Amino acid sequence: MKLISVKNLLRAELGTSEKFELTEDISKIDLPEEIEGHLLSIQGKIMRLEDSVVVSGKGNASLTLICDRCLDNFDTSVSFNFEREYILDRKEKTEEDLYVDKYLNIDLTTELRDEIILAVPTQNFCRKDCPGICPGCGINLNHEACKCIINEEITK
16's CB contacts (< 8 A; 6+ apart) are: 9, 47, 48
Give percent of the chain above pLDDT 70: 90
| pLDDT above 80 for 78 | yes
Range with top average pLDDT, 55-59, 109-113, 132-136? 55-59
Q: Where are the beta strands (DSSP E) in the chain?
A: 4-5, 17-25, 36-48, 52-66, 73-87, 98-99, 105-106
| pLDDT above 70 for 104 | yes
Identify which has the larger pLDDT, 79 or 9. Answer: 79
Question: Rounded to whole angstroms, how far apart are CA atoms 137 and 58?
Answer: 44
**The pLDDT value given to residue 129:** 93
Per-state percent for the chain, helix, strand, coil, to nearest 5: 15, 40, 45
